[in-house]
Amino acid sequence: MPTEETLDKVDLALARSALYGVLASAFRHPDNPLCRTFAGQEEFDALLAALLCAGGRSSEALKNAGTRLREAARNTSHAERKAAYVRLFGHTARGEAPPYETEYGTGGPFFQPQEMSDIAGFYRAFGLDVDPLKHERLDHISCECEFMCFLCAKEAYAFQSSGDGTAAEVSRAQRLFLRDHMGAFARTFFAGVSRHSPAPWHAAAADLGAAFIDAECERLGLALGRRYLTLRPVEELAVPMACGSCEGACASAPPQEG
């Protein structure tokens, strides 16, 4: 029989999973059928219960952010959310608030592929991958939130069936993913959305995300150092990489002077 302590751990893990799911949904395109609005009373009550359970010392801040999200859902039409989404994120990776982790950072020309490979490694370690038919990059904020949603749900299952040992391994993966990937990126992204959002829906979701990530880092004992990241510089290399050697002129090489 599960003990009361185990049930508390299960409830907390499920609440955290639900909140990561909320954030994953909030930053999908409004036409995506998985984009929820939380305008209904029953759905909002479930969200509020998760906020209070997962917040710890930050529960009041999360509750207030959740209430603002509910008001934004009531007062923002689908057309307004869609227009705001396009303005914020555009049709390229570099909108006003880029939702892709590897658009941030200053690690040099190999930074992006190395980080993308590491993120993919986290996903594959748990048998996950991004659906290629969805045409989305695996470093998108919604993908990373979905991954954390999955890990928290897996942790809850481990508490119920496999004991604390398996749960500890899943918790370690959460901590590493927040430390190495989602933590600083999410803080930067949510701050950018709050600063640039033309409509209340995304700003309220970003406020909720910022409060929740702070609570998560506190819960997992993470000190992320720099709170905000700068955008990665876009560098055009003069010579194509990994061409090998050839005897003929390369059509993609820059023209020679003289």
The pLDDT tens digits for 132-141 are: 777 789 999 9
| Mean pLDDT, all residues of the chain | 83
What percentage of residues in the chain have a pLDDT greater than 90?
Answer: 45
User: 89 and 193 in contact (C-beta within 8 Å)?
Assistant: no
DSSP assignment of 38-64? --SHHHHHHHHHHHHHHHGGGHHHHHH
pLDDT band with cut points at 50, 70 and 90 for residue 225: low
Domains delineated in the chain: 4-219 (1.10.3480.10)
**What Å distances lie between residue 52 and 11, 27, 48, 55, 57, CA to CA?**
11, 22, 6, 5, 10
Residue 4's pLDDT band, with cuts at 50, 70 and 90, is low
Instruction: Give which of 225, 123, 215 is closest to 184, Cα–Cα.
Output: 225
Task: Say if residue 12's pLDDT is above 80.
Answer: yes
Report the pLDDT value the prediction gives residue 19, as an integer from 0 to 100. Answer: 92
pTM: 0.84
What are the tokens at 195? 């600063």
Hey, what are 254's tokens? 């820059």
Phi, psi of 141 (to 5 degrees): -55, -40
Ranked by mean pLDDT, the top range of 50-59, 78-87, 133-142 is 78-87
Judge whether 94 and 87 are in contact, CB under 8 Å: no
Does the pLDDT at position 18 exceed 50? yes
